[in-house]
Amino acid sequence: MTSEHKTAIITGGLSGMGLAIARRLAKDGTIVFVGTRGAGDADYARSVLGADADHIHAAALDVRSRESVDAFVDHVVVTRGGVDILVNAAGVYEEAGVIDHPDQVWDDHIDINLSGTFRMIRAVMPHMKRASWGRIINLASVAAHHGMANNAAYCTSKAGLLGLGRCVSLEGAAHGITCVSISPTWVETEMLKRFIDADVQSTGQTLDQVRAEYAKSNPQNQLVQPSEVAELAAFLASDAARALTMEDFQVNAGSLW
């Protein structure tokens, strides 16, 4: 049921859900390669990975660039002989209303969240096809299903992942390749912690009060943890998930925002 001895690529793998998934897959014996723009700094990557630095490999990756994507994937293939698992966790989030919406905010969301995912899938699928086995997991969001004021770029980019995943599922089905997405609600990542800190500064509330407000966004009254998303990803990357494809799994704690 595990992904032992397989090879995984995780984009955005030095923070938040990407890092949690990297650690979880490595725990199963998967050889993990994480790629982020910041991973070009080896000292920084090792400081983040800590004890995992010896068995999680980090290298610079810019999903906005086809050249960077292809070079990263080629390196993994030369090193390991192929790619079995791809987790697309790289992403950006910035709020803006539709009226006077900055072009740069829109372009960044589409280019990183959606097109970056496409570039990674395009690069790994030939290797998965040759191996007749592959698992592709895209980190979407409940925002892929539900709109939110001042979030047009983010919601659109995440909704696009669902359409992309359906096409990839159909093209990969005959070759043992699955493609699914995970759509969490608020997850207690570094990004959410930055939002909480900003709210503390702007509202004068305490850290605990602001955190509690975010927790109230779902009936369980608890923030989802990156490790919970990672457990689901580990299952979806396993042999046991063969029949799970063209599906989106919402980790919403009972709430759809």
Whether the Cβ atoms of residue 83 and residue 77 lie closer than 8 Å to each other: yes
Q: Please name which of 66, 30, 32 lies closest in space to residue 49, comparing C-alpha atoms.
A: 32
Please state whether beta strands 31-36 and 56-60 pair in parallel, antiparallel, or not at all (unpaired): parallel
Is there a catalytic annotation at residue 214?
no
Whether the Cβ atoms of residue 253 and residue 219 lie closer than 8 Å to each other: yes
β-partners of residue 251 are 184
| Encoded tokens for 142 | 């409940």
* Neighbour count for residue 254 (Cβ, 10 Å): 10
Q: Which entry of 44, 93, 154, 214 is annotated as an active-site residue?
A: 154
Q: How far apart (Å, rounded) are the C-alpha atoms in residues 129 and 123?
A: 11
Residues with a known catalytic role: 154
